[in-house]
Chains A and B, each alone.
Chain A
């Protein structure tokens, strides 16, 4: 962190005052436009939604937006006109960045100005930003978020065990071993997950009368069986990406094929496939939303089922917005972790350490 700060300080030192003015103008335009609006909204009150409409259509908000536009246009104009004359690379970067920030501010302000002049603006705000309707559902939201995470984790665990097993079968030299695993993977990857869920729950569990089996359990297993197919392909690619010499060295030390896999090949392959596996997990988290279509019991609802039930009671879309944010809260850190890990893998730092 300190190294990053030092780099920033060096960079600032190389900028000319004029370029910094442009950068500041663009940054201020965006800050006033977005942050100013948000702070203004918070000060005036977020509920009820009529209050939001009133704030957003007020003259004060207009002043905020026009200020942002004026600053933004100034940053765009000066940034694009002057960047070629900047004496240092840092100064050039600063002026182009200022222009880019200014452009974003202008676009945001114009969009909001256009939006608030629309005749259904108040209905739109009421439908998506009525935070007061959430009251009775807040407790259940946390429970639903927990259910989503638990379901995704269990399914991913099942998927990884199954996937590794399937990958080993698919890599076999013998067609008789390979073919059934390949058929399973192709079936699971070739049919929609929603269909699999419906067949599994409505067709088998309900149809055959296994009353004691919950939707949650069924869905978790089917999600895991589905994830197994995708995970198998990831593991297969990871194992095949290892140099042949690793297997040859193991075999020439007297290890059997399975020993070589277990002690040499798979441990290395697992490390290589952590990024794609995490991506797959992100997809799985989102796919848990399909389970809402099966009709979960009250305490077993995941995020979307929660949102839909809350919508059904209030006829308001705010719960959907909240559910969306709920998914992002889980997926964004994972997505960031994947990029960080990929950077590390590229730099070769992972691979050291057992």
Chain B
């Protein structure tokens, strides 16, 4: 944990892509067991913010603290720190040449240096958790989108992370497959996992989120209880956005 009791702490994060300023000074502290849902129009910087937390995007300016370690310090062993932060992508990014089992075990064996047996055991445990134990030997191309995304979640969870990041994980799914993924995430939240979730699923934000951020134009415009923001948004742009999506 960081000194202030938070698990993640972003200080004055700025991010440019060329001349394009995507994040304009973000300060954010996420406490353990919080489920922070980030909403906002496309291009508002939500995904960039999320990817900054595990330093997949390196901030142009500002600091990222995770569990008492400054990730933006060049001397920090990022590979080691990243094992504690799970990230699930919109496009799944499963490894197509490996089975579901292989997808999960490769990092367990090569990064955490578990034995083959331990890695398999842990992988089966996680596949069980997302309800896909019988698909252990299936290749990604043999799975539906929803199943692929659940394997991706199991792959991240198998590292036993302290924090899970979800980057629009249901956006690429057919509508009938969204629910199985959201249910998996909801159960994870119920189990007390700290989560930061970028999503367009307002139902999920309202039901599962313990905290809601509204972002636009690289800034956090709203930060509070999901229910109060949904029923009583303060910022004009939040009102406008919610009137479009609800």
Contacts and interface: CB of A to CB of B under 8 A. Distances in A.
Interface in A216-252: 243, 245-246, 248-252
Interface string B80-115: 101101110101011111100010001100111000
B89 A248 contact: yes
Chain A interface main SS type? helix
Nearest to B102: A354
Given A248-B89, A264-B106, A255 B79 contact: yes
Given A255-B79, A264-B106, A249 B111 contact: no
Contact of A243 (B54, B85, B93, B98): B93
Interface residues of B, number: 30
Interface string A245-283: 110111111111001000110011001000000000000
Interface of A: 243, 245-246, 248-256, 259, 263-264, 267-268, 271, 348, 351-352, 354
B111 A254 contact: yes
Contacts of A255: 79, 107, 110-111
A264 B91 contact: no
A254 B95 contact: no
Nearest to B87: A252
Nearest to A264: B95
Contacts of A246: 93, 95
A249 B96 contact: no
Contact of A254 (B80, B89, B91, B142): B80
A259 B111 contact: yes
A253 B96 contact: no
Given A245-B91, A248-B56, A248-B89, A254 B83 contact: yes
A268 B111 contact: no
A329 B164 CA distance: 58
Contacts of A243: 91, 93
A263 B110 contact: yes
B89 A249 contact: yes
Given A252-B87, A253-B159, A351 B97 contact: yes
Contacts of A248: 56, 89, 93
